[in-house]
Amino acid sequence: MKGRALITGGAGFLGSHLCDALLGEGYSVVVVDNLLTGRLSNLEHLRNEPRFEFQKLDVNQPFDCGPVDYIFHFACPASPVDYTEHGIATLKVGSVGTFHVLDVARKYQAKYLVSSTSECYGDPLEHPQKESYWGYVNPVGPRSVYDEAKRFTEAVTMAYHRYHNVDARIVRIFNTYGPRMQINDGRVVPNFMKQALRGEPLTVYGDGGQTRSFCYVSDEIEGFLRLSRSDEHLPVNIGNPNEFTILECAQRVIAITGSKSRIDFKPLPPDDPKLRRPDITKAREVLGWEPKVDLDTGLRLSLDYFRGAVIAEPVL
């Protein structure tokens, strides 16, 4: 056995894929999750796996899940729908919850990796975004519950690294998509997939000229694993640098699903970032990582999952 890994937020989209990857590499895994936005169905296939354990816990309360060698701190509402609904819980998990997880890392001298986000760059004035860019964030806008929580998460992580020698790493994740995303979480790919598969119009905000870069989940997870094995303590961007306008993405989804849906344009929400693309020079140089799955392939790989999720979801 390679050691015991704790994944906070392991019942969520990324955390559950990380469980599969770590179990596949021979680790034993304990998931700590309060199921605020995650689902046990994401872990159902691990029910009979002897190296897997689930503990329903809120990391905003002090906790101790026993000795661990590695910690992947992924607990945090992540989609705009979720963090808007759970704004205070988002600020708490980014702050007090992160202190608790870092205290576990300190107690057991575990290697620690935390999921941060491209939202730390806000509505960026630099494009593409390098890790050295400090960001342009509205501290009191509707998105600030998430953006500032994550910026604080990074600050407290670096403080535990500097003051308590916690062996810490910070990944700045850019839009990631794939199976197990919630179809109602408001993120671009699930939204478009759901609308296209139901034959409803695809909602594009603004003129659809704002850009995003989408990373398929298997590429993202490989980036996390490489970073966890590296000695890099400052943040590293992990994301796909291929940039698409939202309108292009809607057209791709329509093509891949074979849908007859049209596109509906709606007003742009406040503080919506206009440009978003990672500069992944650091990940390439330090981790030897770069994404392999292009958008069309990733959408095709996700199609069966979204079909099933749309069928399972009652139309209101």
Ligand X SMILES: NC(=O)c1ccc[n+]([C@@H]2O[C@H](COP(=O)([O-])OP(=O)(O)OC[C@H]3O[C@@H](n4cnc5c(N)ncnc54)[C@H](O)[C@@H]3O)[C@@H](O)[C@H]2O)c1
- List residues near ligand X by CB under 6 A: 8-9, 11-15, 32-38, 58-60, 74-78, 82, 93, 97, 115, 117, 173, 175-176
The minimum distance between CB 24 and ligand X, in angstroms, equals 18
314, two tokens: 């009652």
Q: Which residues contact 258 (CB under 8 A, 6 or more apart)?
A: none
CB closer to ligand X out of 8 and 259: 8
267, two tokens: 């007003």
Amino acid at residue number 249: C
Q: Is 146 a catalytic residue?
A: yes
CB closer to ligand X out of 265 and 305: 305
CB closer to ligand X out of 97 and 291: 97
The minimum distance between CB 180 and ligand X, in angstroms, equals 8
Task: Considering the candidates 83, 108, 146, 160, report the single residue annotated as catalytic.
Answer: 146
Long-range pairs for 88-93: beta carbons < 8 A, 24 or more residues apart: 88/145, 89/36, 89/60, 90/145, 90/146, 90/149, 91/145, 91/148, 91/149, 92/60, 93/59, 93/60, 93/149
The minimum distance between CB 81 and ligand X, in angstroms, equals 10
CB closer to ligand X out of 35 and 125: 35
Cα→Cα distances 177→101, 216, 298, Å: 26, 5, 8
Amino acid at residue number 245: T
What is the phi-psi region of residue 27: left when phi exceeds 0, alpha when psi lies from -120 to 50, beta otherwise?
beta
The minimum distance between CB 73 and ligand X, in angstroms, equals 8
Determine the Cα–Cα distance for residues 149 and 270; give it in Å rounded to an integer.
18
Are 82 and 59 within 8 A, CB to CB?
A: no
CB closer to ligand X out of 240 and 259: 240
The minimum distance between CB 199 and ligand X, in angstroms, equals 26
* Residues annotated as catalytic (active site), given as ranges: 146
